[in-house]
Structure 1
Amino acid sequence: MLILSRKVGESIIIDDRIEVKVLEIVDGKIKLGIDAPKDVTIHRKEVYDEIRDENKKASDISMESFSKLKGPLK
């Protein structure tokens, strides 16, 4: 893990395409601005973890459950 110190107005560049800038620091909370191409998906980690967990649950269908499906899927 890379650990950096940045002041308000300073930024870091990731992969020549993504800029993360410190916009504000108030009461121990940091406001970040992220400038990235539209094809880059950005999530807060807790949201990303939820999406990943839901996708995993959805893909863990048992063959027994799958065989209970009737008719063609549309």
Structure 2
Amino acid sequence: MLVIGRDVGEVVTIGENIRIKVMAVEGGVVRFGISAPREVVVHRSEIYKRIKEQELERSSSS
């Protein structure tokens, strides 16, 4: 895992076309924006996990 310190307004670039910008840091909470092409799916980890569980349920019920 790569750990990077960034200040508000600074950006981390992943590959050619994914950018993560630190928008705010308040009380231990970091808010960031993600800019990526439409074909790149972006989810919070808990949402991604829920989607995968639902896909597994659908595939095992068919």
Question: Normalization by structure 2: what TM-score?
Answer: 0.92
RMSD: 1.1
Q: 1:60: Cα distance to partner?
A: 1.1
Q: Please give the alpha-carbon distance, in whole angstroms, between the structure 2 residues aligned to 1:3 and 1:45.
A: 18
Q: 1:15: Cα distance to partner?
A: 1.0
Q: Among the aligned pairs, what percent are the same residue?
A: 35
Partner of 2:19: 19
Could you list the runs of 4 or more consecutive aligned residues of structure 1 that deviate by over 3 angstroms after TM superposition?
none
Partner of 1:6: 6
Which ranges in structure 1 are unaligned for 5 or more consecutive residues?
67-74
What pairs with 1:1-74 in structure 2 (closer than 5 Å)? 1-61=1-61
Which ranges in structure 2 are unaligned for 5 or more consecutive residues?
none
Q: Please give the alpha-carbon distance, in whole angstroms, between the structure 1 residues aligned to 2:9 and 2:21.
A: 6
SS at match of 1:24: strand
Q: Please give the alpha-carbon distance, in whole angstroms, between the structure 2 residues aligned to 1:41 and 1:54.
A: 17
Q: Please give the alpha-carbon distance, in whole angstroms, between the structure 1 residues aligned to 2:60 and 2:2.
A: 35
> Relative to total residues, which structure has the larger strand share, 1 or 2?
2
Computing the radius of gyration over CA atoms, which structure comes out larger, 1 or 2? 1
What is the total number of aligned residue pairs between the two structures? 62
Instruction: Pick 1 or 2: higher relative contact order, CA cutoff 8 A, min separation 6.
Output: 2
